[in-house]
Amino acid sequence: MSGDERSRLLGAAVDDALADALGEVAASVRGGRVADYIPELADADPDGFGVSIASVLGRVYGAGDVAAEFTIQSASKPFVYAFASDELGGEAVHRRVGVEPSGEPFNAISLDAQGRPENPFINAGAIVTTSLVPAADADERFARIRDALSRFAGRELDLDDEVYRSEAVTGHRNRALAGLALAVGSLATADVDSATDPYFRQCSLVVTTEDLALMGATLANGGVHPLTRDRVVSERAARDTLSVMATCGMYDRSGAWAFRVGMPAKSGVGGGIVAVRPGEFGVGVYSPPLDEAGNSLRGVAMLEALSDRFGLHMFDHTRVPTSPVGEASVDRETRTVTLALRGELDFLAAEQAVHDAGRLVLHVDARALRLDFTDVTLITAVAEQLLRTTAAAAEEAGLDVEFPGAPQGFDRGIG
């Protein structure tokens, strides 16, 4: 078999499907404006366009300019937020920054009723989040942030020094936002620069669509990088981050985004967008021209196309739930109902199992119930609770109950 034939068998179909969607968006979506508040961003190639997808199993696909380098800008915010939440716990973070969509542009001067920036993804909130990263000074703070973002990407990320210098020279509004946060007691550092300087530098880290896809996949995978297997943040920090991305990731377009695309996401003025299908994929797109909200125009269109074509919207329910019950059988002679459970038992699976067991027991007026756990690979706490309660109910109704292979302690209160 030729190398080409092998690669076609090994998933080139996915690259082809991405290339199809990219080609269509490139042909039909034009316009937007490349960010020009600093010269380095204004120089970006307006025709640069790429997409990458990384699965939680570590497979990476792409089409277009997947190797083009650009600064991460605001797409850094969810990862710094995840890092700060992981270090300090969500509660400490949210004493200083809220979790409400602001409905305002990214650089708005906005504080909620408690005097906190409304969320960690508008600039005011992002600067507060950066200030929360424990460090002795600005240099150490940035070093820690860079290290965390590099672990999310699975490789060392470089700083674009020229972009950083320009951001710092022109960043009066961001310094003003930090000053306001300091005045209301929201900023965690004693001075403005210890927060804004690492913030300007985090925005100036250089990434590709592949990096964004893998960073997103790490969040999709509960905080563990799919390739390096590094646990970058806790499961809870990853979940919190996805929650805020789902509600506040696209600034004042977050509602339309949730409606049309339905994936937790975050954009940056460098033209990048990172999006996540929790438990499945991270997606990175790049196209510099922006819409009026500061989100990549073609990037948004590309993610909308992917959401539709690949069924990635979080409220899409096209998946057929697999039955958790390997075999439900009845021995007519002994009036025994056996439920052979298998695979991963979560709430949904246990709900089905409990329902099936109850229905069969009543239908045949059973004398015995066997819940066979032998082929179960994983069971969540709630699933175990539902099955235990059902077993106890059967016992109380006078049935003989057996549960071979049940998790340790399952028999508490039964038999």
Interface ranges with ligand GLN (CB under 6 A): 73-74, 106-107, 123, 167, 174, 203, 268-269, 294
Is residue 126 within 8 Å of 241, Cβ to Cβ?
Answer: no
Smallest separation, CB 127 to ligand GLN (Å): 8
Q: Which is nearer to ligand GLN, 167 or 372 (CB)?
A: 167
The one catalytic residue among 61, 81, 164, 251 = 251
Smallest separation, CB 391 to ligand GLN (Å): 54
Closest residue to ligand GLN, Cβ-based? 74
Report the alpha-carbon distance of residue 285 to residue 281 in Å, rounded.
13
Smallest separation, CB 171 to ligand GLN (Å): 7
Smallest separation, CB 95 to ligand GLN (Å): 23
For residue 42, which of 74, 71, 75, 63 has the smallest C-alpha distance?
Answer: 71
Q: Which is nearer to ligand GLN, 15 or 167 (CB)?
A: 167
Q: Which is nearer to ligand GLN, 175 or 388 (CB)?
A: 175
- Measured torsion, CA atoms of residues 83, 89, 90, 95, in degrees rounded to the nearest 10: -110
Smallest separation, CB 268 to ligand GLN (Å): 4
**CA geometry: angle 119, 124, 125, nearest 5 deg:** 30
Q: Which is nearer to ligand GLN, 130 or 338 (CB)?
A: 130
Report the alpha-carbon distance of residue 13 to residue 18 in Å, rounded.
9
Q: What is the DSSP string of 68-100?
A: --EE-GGGGHHHHHHHHHHHH-HHHHHTTS--S
Q: Which is nearer to ligand GLN, 198 or 268 (CB)?
A: 268
Smallest separation, CB 141 to ligand GLN (Å): 16
The one catalytic residue among 269, 285, 361, 401 = 269
Structure tokens at 143: 């070093």
Is residue 151 within 8 Å of 221, Cβ to Cβ?
Answer: no
Please state the φ and ψ torsions of residue 277, each to the nearest 5 degrees.
-105, 100
- Measured torsion, CA atoms of residues 268, 219, 262, 92, in degrees rounded to the nearest 10: -80
Report the alpha-carbon distance of residue 31 to residue 51 in Å, rounded.
19
Q: Which is nearer to ligand GLN, 129 or 390 (CB)?
A: 129
Instruction: Give the 3-state secondary structure of 117-157.
Output: CCCCCCHHHHHHHHHHCCCCCHHHHHHHHHHHHHHHHCCCC
Smallest separation, CB 124 to ligand GLN (Å): 10
Residue type, 8: R
Is 74 an active-site residue?
yes
Is 206 an active-site residue?
no
Q: Which is nearer to ligand GLN, 250 or 353 (CB)?
A: 250
The one catalytic residue among 25, 77, 254, 325 = 77
Is 164 an active-site residue?
no
Is residue 124 within 8 Å of 163, Cβ to Cβ?
Answer: no
Per-residue exposure over 259-275, b if at least 16 CB sit within 10 Å of its own CB, e if not: eebbbbbbbbbbbbbbb
- Active site residue ranges: 74, 77, 199, 251, 269
